[in-house]
């Protein structure tokens, strides 16, 4: 049996850690707000990240973003024993993966494995895990990761984190273009039914079909919080700038998310960006 230290029991982490408990692993959990850790039936609660990590074979972090990982990372580095693997599944970008890898002592291996999918997929174990890191560690942990979804090994350390930014750039951009297309239809006097019909004939057809119920109801209950999408948009723009790439569309996505967040929509689902761009009040 593997002893797993699980750090971070938010919307995603709580569901993922529960799957490992149910699969029969010994899971020691730590969460910054202890109450959430105590809600996780079948897991032992650690008072600090260091206590969770001390006796673990595997350490998994599923935290909000780079700031959280940089806060918790030193405790992982101080306590992880040689032979331990650390898997970070948060969306943090390749720079923070490199920072964490450099902070870990010799003999401790890091995999980056951010996820595609949201809370439903986390609950059902059908996430896609975008994995970066050495072959042997990926092979070793594939059976356990398969309890959470489908691991896809994309390359060396940082490849998973990079891939996740690519995926989220597509996600954020698509929602932005959908919203602006509907806004244009409104401005040109096309009834919404006609706008949906037209969008159904474009590359946005699938997104239009999926997002229409939320737009029609004006309700965007949180799965992937808009504030987290804004964090990701910031990571994407920073990565592009560091590489000297011009990405005005990514900047526009970040600008829209910044506005929506400032308008108080950060706790809603990121698709509340649609409501914000369309000038609709939240109907919840």
Give me the residues that bind ligand NAP (CB under 6 A), please.
8-13, 31-33, 36, 62-65, 67-68, 71-72, 90-91, 115, 118-119, 223-225, 228
Q: How far is the CB of 194 from ligand NAP (least distance, A)?
A: 32
Going by C-alpha positions, the residue among 147, 161, 150 that lies closest to residue 117 is 150
Least distance to ligand NAP from the beta carbon of 14, Å?
A: 8
In 3D space, the residue among 82, 142, 81 whose CA is nearest the CA of residue 111 turns out to be 142
Residue where the block lists tokens 């356990």:
144
* Smallest separation, CB 42 to ligand NAP (Å): 18
Q: Which is nearer to ligand NAP, 212 or 223 (CB)?
A: 223
Q: Residue 27 or 62: which CB sits closer to ligand NAP? A: 62
CB-based closest residue to ligand NAP:
10
Closer residue to ligand NAP, CB minimum distance, 182 or 222: 222
Those residues whose C-beta lies under 8 Å from the C-beta of residue 282, and which sit 6 or more positions away, are 218, 219, 220, 265, 268, 272, 275
Task: Give the distance, in angstroms, between the CA of residue 276 and the centroid of all CA atoms in the same chain.
Answer: 22
Q: Which is nearer to ligand NAP, 23 or 116 (CB)?
A: 116
Are 196 and 190 within 8 A, CB to CB? no
Beta carbon nearer to ligand NAP, 174 or 181: 174
Residue 231 has which token pair?
């964090």
CB 119, min distance to ligand NAP, A: 6
| Shortest distance in whole angstroms from residue 21 CB to ligand NAP | 16
Nearest-5° Cα angle at 191, 185 to 196: 70
Rounded Cα distance between 243 and 230, Å, is 20
């Amino acid at each position: 049996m593997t002893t797993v230290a699980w750090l971070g029991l938010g919307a995603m982490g709580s569901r993922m850690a529960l799957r490992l408990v149910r699969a029969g692993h010994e899971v020691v959990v730590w969460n910054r707000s202890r109450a959430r850790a105590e809600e996780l039936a079948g897991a032992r609660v650690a008072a600090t990240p260091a206590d969770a990590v001390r006796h673990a074979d595997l350490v998994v972090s599923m935290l909000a973003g780079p700031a959280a990982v940089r806060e918790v990372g030193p405790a992982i580095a101080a306590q992880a024993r040689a032979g331990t693997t650390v898997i970070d599944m948060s969306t943090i970008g390749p720079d923070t993966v490199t920072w964490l890898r450099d902070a870990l002592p010799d003999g401790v291996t890091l995999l980056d494995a951010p996820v595609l999918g949201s809370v439903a997929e986390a609950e059902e174990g059908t996430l896609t895990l975008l994995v970066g890191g050495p072959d042997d560690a990926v092979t070793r942990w594939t059976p356990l990761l398969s309890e959470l979804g489908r691991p896809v090994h994309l390359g060396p350390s940082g490849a998973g984190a990079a891939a996740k930014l690519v995926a989220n750039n597509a996600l954020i951009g698509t929602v932005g273009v959908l919203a602006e297309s509907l806004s244009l239809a409104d401005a040109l006097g096309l009834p919404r039914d006609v706008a949906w019909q037209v969008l159904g004939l474009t590359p946005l057809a699938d997104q239009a079909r999926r997002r229409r119920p939320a737009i029609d109801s004006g309700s965007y209950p949180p799965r992937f919080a808009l504030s987290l999408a804004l964090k990701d948009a910031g990571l994407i723009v920073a990565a592009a700038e560091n590489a000297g790439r011009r990405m005005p569309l990514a900047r526009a996505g970040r600008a829209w998310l910044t506005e929506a967040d400032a308008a108080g929509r950060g706790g809603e689902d990121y698709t509340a960006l649609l409501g914000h761009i369309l000038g609709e009040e939240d109907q919840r």
